[in-house]
Amino acid sequence: MKSALPLTTVVLALIGVWYLAAALMNASLQRDQFANAGRTDYSTQDLVGASLNMERPKLPAPHQVASELYKLVFATSPTSKRSLVYHGLITLEETLIGFAIGSALGIGLAVLIVSMRWLERSMMPWIVASQTVPIIALAPMIVVILNQFNVTGIAPKAAIAAYLSFFPVTVGMVKGFRSPDPLQLDLMRTYSATRAQTFMKLRAPASAPFFFASMKIGAAAALVGAVVAEVTKSEDGGLGARLLAGSYYGQTVQIWAALFAAAALSATLVGAIGFAGRLTQRRMALS
Amino acid sequence: MTSRRLSEFLPPLAFGLAVLAIWEAGVRLLHVPAIILPPPSAIAARFVTSIPTLAADFRQTIQGVLAGYVIGSLAGFVVAILIDRSHFLQRGLLPIGNLVSALPIVGVAPIMVMWFGFDWQSKAAVVAVMTFFPMLVNTIAGLSSAGAIERDLMKTYGANYWQTLLALRLPVAMPFIFNALKINTTLAMIGAIVAEFFGTPIVGMGFRISTEVGRLQIDMVWATIVVAALTGSLFYALVAGVERRVTFWHASYRAKEA
């Protein structure tokens, strides 16, 4: 809790900067609106006040985003198509399904790679290289391909989420299974442990910190995948669809609200994984 | 040396060729329609015939990638140096930086397209926002990684803050900074391509992918993805090469030389 005070200060400062930026960026737009309405007798105070409460500002002020968030999260019924809870749940569902599949496959492949040397030598360079490739470029195509097989709705987006979380999890887990040092591996050998025993009693527990680190990256990547996939196929809803709809109709406040909802979702997921990680490590007496 | 390199490169090369061969054979034998998965040979043919288009897309997208990458990374680095002397600001900014790195920042793409228009400037803005925080967090971590003994040594030399920074702390921070630079190459490509999904002049890799998907020209989509993959890998390799030059003293490289 040592960082509570600095953190609050920085957050408050950021909100201050945001207000300033909103006033500066919207002022010219608001001046035009006053001119169109034939008003010339406005003071600077009027201008600033109006700039911070425009309907379609260039940059909505924090309180506008907050009230929009409140309206769309709490004051709208969760079944309504305007509710961010409704869209957030769609995104969350895609993310979780994709993340579960992607991380399961990633861990499975990591186990295979660690236990078979030829697999590592032939596949690992490709998996590492795949990290440098903008995989997300494939998202629109995967949606279309799956569409050809009549796979619609949540499945294609979950597939992209799975795909994006797969690679970081594989790389992280291979590192984790590799993390025991030669001394410990030698010890297992002197115990004449089998490969399976070495894996279960040494490699798997040793990979715990890597596991939670890769789960965090994987979950965040899965959410990005789900949101981007929703942009390419926006008719089924989701936070990405709200982003796209907002950008079509110039509803900046709506874009920011959707953005903050996605951020909150991601932070919650990553935070929950981090919490589980700390609990586990405490029980394993690692920290 | 050459034979060792060969044995290092042969298995992945064989694996890659095998995947391509299975892909080609599978598509042909199972008569998979080209709208679903074109064979590699068709993609290669398409690639060769549409080099002018692909080159134009590349030029459009790479502007946003490079401009945003430089601006974002530089800004992250400068801010890290600026707040280096204030523990207060660091303690406040680090949790935020860590939080932001888990957020779907690509979501700012529609906002940036509204602010900076359809051309590459808006893509550069998205990339700059995406690359800023990894650089900030890594530079701060790197600057604090110099050991107490080395710092004491600098103190006994009577070195002032800037001398310590230049002679000790920045060099020690280099692996962290390059780590951020490498992460940022991928983020920059992703940011620029996704931002193009939200609006772009009629050129660019993200634009090409989304329109050709709509026209069901999947071979062209794959050709663009090949370009994106090559660009991303080369960009990464370039940064990794510079890293090897700059941080040649680091344990991870020394071990390989030995």
CA neighbor of B195 nearest in space, from B137, B139, B111: B111
Residue of A nearest to B220 (CA): A141
Residue A287's pLDDT band (boundaries 50, 70, 90)? low
Distance, CA of A73 to CA of B245 (rounded, Å): 52
R_g of chain B, CA atoms, integer Å: 22
B43 vs A138 pLDDT, higher one: B43
Nearest to B52 by CA among B203, B229, B250: B203
Rg of chain A taking only CA atoms, in angstroms: 24
Q: Which of B69, B46, B155, B187 is nearest to A224 (CA)?
A: B187
Are the Cβ atoms of B11 and A122 closer than 8 angstroms? Answer: yes
Helices (H), chain B: 2-29, 40-49, 51-82, 87-100, 109-116, 120-143, 148-156, 161-164, 170-197, 205-214, 218-246, 251-257
Q: State the pLDDT at residue B252.
A: 64
- Write out pLDDT tens, residues A1-12: 567 888 888 889
Nearest by CB to residue A140, choosing from B12, B108, B209, is B209
Quick check: B103 contacting A, CB < 8 Å? yes
Whether residue A15 is predicted with pLDDT greater than 70 in this model: the reply is yes
Confidence of residue B251 (pLDDT cuts 50, 70, 90): low
Read off the amino acid at residue A161. Answer: A
Give me the residue from A2, A232, A266 closest to B103, CB to CB: A266
Interface check B64 vs A, CB under 8 A: no
Q: Highest mean pLDDT: which of A119-128, B68-77, B87-96?
A: B68-77
Task: Give me the pLDDT at residue B258, please.
Answer: 41
Model pTM? 0.83
Looking at residue B120, its pLDDT comes to 87
Residue in chain A closest to B99 (alpha carbons) equals A267
Residue written as tokens 């090897």?
B244
Using the 8-state DSSP alphabet, how is residue B118 labeled? Answer: S
